[in-house]
Amino acid sequence: MKQLLVFLCGCLALAPSFAAPAHHDVMIADHPHVQEDSHHHAKLDRCEGIEFDAIVPDEKGQTFFFKGDHLWKGFSGPSELANGTFKELDEFHHLGHVDAAFRMHNKDGDALKDHDHIFFFLDDKVFSYYSHTLEKGFPLEIQQVFPGVPSHLDAAVECPKGECVTDSVLFFKGHEVYNFDIKTKTVKKKVWSHLPNCTSAFRWLEHYYCFHGHNFTRFNPVSGEVEGHYPKDARHYFMRCQDFGHGGGHKKPRCKLDAISADDTGKTYAFIESMYIRLDSHRDGSHPFPITRLWKEVSGRVDAVFAYGDKMYIIQGNQIYIYKSATPYTLIEGYPKPLKEELGIEGPVNAAFLCANQHVVHIIKGQKMIDIDLAVTPRAVKSEFPLPIANVDAAMCDADGVKVYVGAKYYLYQSPRVLAVSKIQPAPHKISPEKFGCEED
């Protein structure tokens, strides 16, 4: 237990609360005011430029930023002593710092019991927490839980299947990266000399960040590749600080969708202007990112998006792009193609949606709905229906029914057929600014 405390108190100096990040990357926080303790009189201010020891979210999505024996909860608020949250630390007052930390992601097999647990690493020991409580039997030697992973780590971050090849954990030590397969407990070592030495690593909404000094660099978790202009100052993105802008001045878009869809893995996206917002990761907050971040070949606004099988279809004007849904999304060779060639209709269209386990895509164009059977080649219009609703912006079919979005509102219909034959427009519902990361008119 003494080693646990040595590990955690030293790390808990900085942690902002997890809200949606700022301009294309992450959100920001208020100026922290450090609480003093009879044993600790440090006045830690992350706006002065902090090199974090570890960054990790808990099972509810609240993110902790650690520095020494202090932490910050989320992107705003003051620093506080780590032992106020991790109670076992009360037994010791001579803690060092956490070397690394990550939140486990695994819902399969024996590892399910560790899903959403936080693992902390200090020297050669590992500690497992759930609901801020130390699990029975911990701390243990790192090798007992993660064979092949070295001690005295610099950083760690979870990488779920789909973003990595398998459910994995990336451990950093200098320029060496140890990819730990959670299911097989095997390790593959890589050297990413092009990345800075990460003192902490953080996954947020499918994006991976290496923190170094008061800066961060976004990287691909499979290749380590860095895309874009980095490093960037964390004070512009992960906290609110005087004289530091919110991610370069990002302004939230209006609550008016251009398209909305979920892929075959359950990832749900809303498209607004030239941005997309991930909707199924609500516990980690919401934030708009440029469409080109995931779909590199698509620039500007889209007209409609739908998923069929393991592919994502994006309609823009008279063209259609088809992507393989596996992360990262990969454009199928030969695309984009004319919409007429692929679906047998001319663009532009207003919206498109497909219901679960169905092969008929419903295209809304003007005030009519066009049905196209995707299981038939060549594809052609199967049927057309006049619609009782005009000026449709987007539509989606899910477990609730068919949601038809018009401006800042949406209308819920029981099924595509009900939408087609309905004579009475249902009561409107408001689009949630919190859920969609948008501004009401």
Q: Residue 407 pLDDT > 60, yes or no?
A: yes
Q: Which of 45-49, 196-200, 261-265, 279-283 has the highest mean pLDDT?
A: 196-200
Mean pLDDT (whole number) for 135-161: 95
pTM, full prediction: 0.73
Q: Residue 251 pLDDT > 50, yes or no?
A: yes
Question: Given its phi and psi angles, is residue 317 left (phi above 0), alpha (psi -120 to 50 degrees) or beta?
Answer: left
Confidence of residue 43 (pLDDT cuts 50, 70, 90): low
Q: Residue 51 pLDDT > 60, yes or no?
A: yes
According to the model, what pLDDT value does residue 88 have? 65
Q: What would the two tokens of residue 191 be?
A: 């050297």
* 358 burial type by CB count under 10 A (0-12 exposed, 13-18 middle, 19+ buried): middle
Q: Residue 33 pLDDT > 50, yes or no?
A: no
Question: Which DSSP category does 439 fall into?
Answer: B
Q: Which long-range contacts (CB under 8 A, 24 or more apart) does 31-38 make?
A: 31/240, 31/241, 31/242, 32/72, 32/77, 32/78, 32/79, 32/239, 33/78, 33/79, 34/70, 34/78, 34/79, 34/80, 35/78, 35/79, 35/80, 35/81, 37/81
CATH 2.110.10.10 positions along the chain are 2-236, 259-436
Confidence of residue 112 (pLDDT cuts 50, 70, 90): low
Condensed to tens digits (0 to 9), the pLDDT of residues 164-197 reads: 999 999 999 999 999 999 999 999 999 999 999 9
Q: Residue 92 pLDDT > 50, yes or no?
A: no
CATH superfamily assigned to domain 2-236? Hemopexin-like domain (2.110.10.10)
According to the model, what pLDDT value does residue 110 have? 60
Mean pLDDT (whole number) for 277-287: 77
Across the chain, mean pLDDT equals 84
Give the architecture (CATH level 2) of 259-436: 4 Propeller (2.110)
Mean pLDDT (whole number) for 263-268: 86
Q: Residue 55 pLDDT > 50, yes or no?
A: yes
According to the model, what pLDDT value does residue 69 have? 84
Mean pLDDT (whole number) for 318-330: 89
According to the model, what pLDDT value does residue 36 have? 39
